[in-house]
């Protein structure tokens, strides 16, 4: 079964993330629009069956998503220090009790319940400390409206957290490619292997090209090439930017789909597509063949 390309249902949240996270801009950088992906570019939604529900360490896995959790708790508690303490309470609980039999559904839904409990536990902790010190206790108001499964703020933070993890994954792919090229150039691979690998195109700019195009939408490929050259510390042509950008977009979309699949209990193609739509991430897959 080959699901159709990701649709744009009315349940999508507004695309209100910063410019560097708006992938829709990455194909509109001057003449780079001509390098958008061809019909042969493909993303497999459910290529991995690994999910959060099967993680060996609940606390260890949840640590992957600290940034959106911290942002949400800061809103709920009104203080970064209190948010950090609440996070410590939640992680401590996960270390001791794991998922406590609640490893079902979407990870973001499981976490929002944990975040609400941790915020309340932090308030109880503050009040108990004040009473012990003989101080008057002022009732603490919590912004629990932000800590709901369908809260626009929570969905936005979660979306941005997924994108940040995907950017880092793309950067790691670039690093692996540069390591491969370095090994070839330094003669660390067998001569027979080097002959085969040497004819493969070098794709060691996928992160930097994608980043510069996302951050500097509207600039020509020549200008983008100059920016990328500064990061790569080597000469980069406009043609090389145009060649690696479609590869970068396809890889980014695949890594994003993989990251999303990890946060679902039943990570089939339909569920992943629904999550992509809910989080307003459809444009990351624009121009790609999205398959199961």
* Amino acid 198: pLDDT: 53
pLDDT above 60: residue 270: yes
Tokens of 184: 């070839």
101, 58 Cβ separation under 8 angstroms: no
Strands (DSSP E) contained in 31-151 are 42-44
* Amino acid 69: pLDDT: 98
Centroid of chain to Cα 287: 20
The span from the CA of 240 to the CA of 263, in Å, is 35
Percentage, residues of the chain above pLDDT 90 = 72
The span from the CA of 167 to the CA of 21, in Å, is 9
Nearest Cα neighbor of 205 from 183, 233, 186, 184 is 233
pLDDT above 80: residue 204: yes
Contacts of 144 (CB under 8 A, 6+ apart): 76, 116, 119
Tokens of 190: 């067998």
Residue 183 — pLDDT band, cuts 50, 70, 90?
Answer: confident
Q: What's the rounded mean pLDDT across residues 238-260?
A: 96
Q: What's the rounded mean pLDDT across residues 62-84?
A: 97
Q: What's the rounded mean pLDDT across residues 255-270?
A: 96
Longest dimension (CA), the chain: 78
Angle between helices 152-185 and 238-262 (to 10 degrees): 130
For 95-146, how does the pLDDT look when each residue is reduced to its tens digit (9 = 90+)? 999 999 899 999 999 999 999 999 999 999 999 999 998 988 788 889 999 9
- The mean pLDDT of the chain is 85
- Which pTM does this prediction carry? 0.83
pLDDT above 60: residue 25: no
Q: What's the rounded mean pLDDT across residues 73-93?
A: 97
């Amino acid at each position: 079964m080959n699901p159709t390309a990701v649709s744009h249902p009315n349940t999508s949240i507004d695309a209100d993330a910063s410019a560097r996270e708006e992938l829709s801009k990455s194909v509109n950088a001057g003449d780079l629009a001509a390098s958008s992906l061809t019909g042969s570019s493909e993303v497999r939604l459910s290529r991995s069956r690994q999910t959060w529900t099967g993680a060996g360490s609940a606390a260890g896995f949840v640590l992957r998503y600290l940034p959106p959790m911290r942002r949400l708790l800061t809103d709920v508690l009104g203080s970064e220090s209190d948010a950090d303490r609440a996070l410590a309470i939640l992680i401590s609980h996960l270390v001791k009790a794991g998922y406590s039999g609640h490893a079902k559904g979407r990870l973001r839904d499981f976490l929002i319940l944990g975040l609400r409990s941790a915020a309340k536990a932090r308030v109880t902790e503050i009040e108990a400390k004040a009473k012990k010190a003989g101080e008057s206790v002022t009732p603490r108001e919590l912004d629990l409206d932000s800590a709901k499964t369908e809260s626009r703020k929570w969905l936005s933070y979660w979306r941005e957290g997924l994108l940040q993890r995907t950017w880092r994954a793309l950067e790691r792919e670039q690093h692996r490619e540069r390591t491969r090229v370095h090994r070839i150039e330094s003669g660390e691979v067998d001569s027979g292997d080097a002959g085969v690998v040497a004819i493969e195109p070098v794709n060691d700019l996928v992160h930097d090209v994608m980043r510069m195009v996302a951050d500097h939408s509207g600039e020509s490929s020549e200008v983008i090439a100059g920016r990328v050259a500064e990061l790569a510390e080597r000469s980069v042509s406009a043609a090389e930017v145009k060649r690696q950008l479609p590869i970068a977009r396809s890889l980014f979309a695949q890594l994003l789909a993989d990251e999303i699949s990890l946060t679902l209990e039943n990570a089939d193609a339909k569920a992943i597509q629904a999550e992509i739509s809910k989080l307003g991430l459809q444009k990351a897959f624009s121009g790609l063949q999205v398959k199961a």
